[in-house]
Structure 1
């Protein structure tokens, strides 16, 4: 891939995009239980428990903007999905595991910022698009918590 006018966004532009997407979200802070049915059993792990309020809020906004952008791809190859993600402001260094798996292209995004642990798992196959929040380690190399 050659750099050119449509080269991937910079790290500074990436951080600015994260701030723009999350501007309506609470400031980073301690993990809080998201609102829900008090009678329902509370989860003990996963994004609902481990993400702070800002990340929990931002996850829905990132999920929606990515889902809308890749929805129209008739043949979502890894190259096409990367281009869409880059056009949305996601930098290559934060795009992981971008590969074809059967008819789908799968990927993970490392969106850790300001002490948060947000990541997204995505799958696009031309008919269905699924982008969901996940939890990454607070620091160190990117991996998706299981």
Structure 2
């Protein structure tokens, strides 16, 4: 009996410890699984929320585009006069004194031609805003390598996804900028060449991957 009592006093607590340890491990495993599952769900939701928010670079670029668009005419306005349109005869003819030379015909405003003619007044206005600020920066770049030009464009708010076909051309660098917004077709064809840098509007496909359809390279 003494031996049996000894056995109970020695082994029973051990069993209790083992059972308690097993239950604790099971509880921890369950808690860990629930916490992990909850953590994954909250992490996934957090990732989704972050992914929906634009990056600071994109937000800055969009703010820039919005500012230019607010300063320009509404979409669809076009200042080109239709072919064959006659000039309105609203002014009275000027009288010419004897011995005076009659005045020459008034010079008509130059209407857009080439690629620029395919853009409406709004796109041409927006283009001018972009061109001025880009040219001013590129003219101060003494050694216009593609890497340096890209850095300049990034610093002006143009993200890499808007920069295309940037390549070395002798001591100069050429590039395109995708400025399409809301179904527009505006793009820019740029030449980084120090003091003679230039940027002019071009026309891109309205939808799909960036593709220049009409341009006059600077």
Bin of the TM-score, shorter chain as denominator length: 0.7 to 0.9
Name whichever structure is richer in helix by fraction. Answer: 2
Relative to structure 1, the CA distance from residue 117 to residue 32 in structure 2 (aligned partners, 3 Å threshold; closer, same or farther) is: farther
Assess, with a 3 A threshold, how the Cα gap between structure 1 residues 42 and 16 changes in structure 2: closer, same or farther: closer
Q: Which runs of 5+ in 2 are unaligned?
A: 1-54, 82-106
- Bigger relative contact order (CA 8 A; separation at least 6): 1
Compared with structure 1, are the counterparts of its residues 143 and 30 closer, same or farther at alpha carbon in structure 2 (3 Å cutoff)?
Answer: same
TM-score by length of 2: 0.56
Bigger Cα Rg: 2
Q: Is residue 163–residue 177 contact of structure 2 (8 Å, CA) maintained in 1?
A: yes
What 5-or-longer segments of structure 1 have no aligned partner?
A: 1-6
Alignment pair present for 1:124 and 2:172? no
Partners of 1:22 and 1:61 within 8 A in 2: no
Number of paired residues? 135
Kept in 2: contact 1:31–1:50 (CA 8 A): no
Matched, 1:79 2:126: no
Superposed displacement of residue 32, structure 1: 4.4
User: After the TM superposition, which residues 17-56 of structure 1 pair with which residues of structure 2 at under 5 Å, given as runs?
Assistant: 17-29=64-76, 31-33=78-80, 38=108, 43=113, 45-47=114-116, 49-56=117-124
- Shift of residue 30, structure 1, vs aligned partner: 5.0
Q: TM-score, normalised by structure 1?
A: 0.81
Q: Is the 1:76–1:126 contact (alpha carbons within 8 Å) kept by the matching residues of 2?
A: yes
User: What RMSD, in angstroms, separates the aligned Cα atoms of the two structures?
Assistant: 2.4
